[in-house]
Amino acid sequence: MARVAIVTGGTRGIGRAICENLRDSGFTVAANYGGNDQKAQEFTAETGIKAYKWDVGDHEASLAGCAQVGEDLGPIDAVVNNAGITRDGTLHKMSYEDWHEVMRVNLGGCFNMAKACFPGMRERKWGRIVNIGSINGQAGQYGQVNYAAAKSGIHGFTKALAQEGAKFGVTVNAIAPGYIDTDMVAAVPEPVLEKIVAKIPVGRLGQASEIARAVGFFCSEEAGFVTGSTMSVNGGQHMY
């Protein structure tokens, strides 16, 4: 019987690439999404992967959503916390709502999804949790105190939960992507994008498929001895 994986923010961009990679690796995949029903319907039609709508920043909705996935597809063996939002601005101009919403979704979503799925993984003595952090959670970024704090928090969350899960066969790891060629990055003005690429040693943006392959490794049987790790996939832009 195929293992079941759920990917938050899974219908577009990096999330979609992760869903397709896990599907091709033999997982039965569910894609969570937060807003765009039309895109989700197109995603399901094109990939055959069922999409489920809820706000990962909502604790009760996450518990109910994961329960529904479990009922439809079977116990959840792997969770990829990919969903994230931005509300950029300098601290001077940032509202409390902009701070709170990014923390609620980006970091709170990791807690909510783990809370829903970690107990079952412990009981079954096998599980994979992969959290998508960011280069900006490692190095910081001007105008992103909320996003950088949330993503940095994800890296700490990963290391702490990894220690809880290790003896139960549950690994918890993180990916820290650099600048990836997605719709979000495509919206950056060309002169700004050129300056970003100029700072990437390999001389290009990353591809969503490159993040997906890293996630696929962490979710595999072969990665059973890897936990509490953060893999930087950023073309050499930030090393530490």
9: left (phi over 0), alpha (psi -120 to 50) or beta: left
Buried b (16+ CB within 10 A) or exposed e, 208-238: bbbbbebbbbbbbeebeeebbebbbbbbebb
Q: Which two tokens stand for residue 61?
A: 């909705």
Question: E-assigned strands of the chain?
Answer: 4-7, 28-33, 50-53, 76-81, 127-132, 170-177, 230-233
Number of H helices, E strands in the chain: 10, 7
Known catalytic membership, residue 179: no
Q: Is 144 helix (H, G, I), strand (E, B) or coil?
A: strand
Can you say how many angstroms the Cα of residue 124 is from the centroid of all Cα atoms in its chain? 23
Could you say which of 33, 52, 147, 179 is catalytic? 147
Task: Lay out the sheet containing 28-33: strands in order across.
Answer: 50-53, 28-33, 4-7, 76-81, 127-132, 170-177, 230-233
**Which residues carry out catalysis?**
147
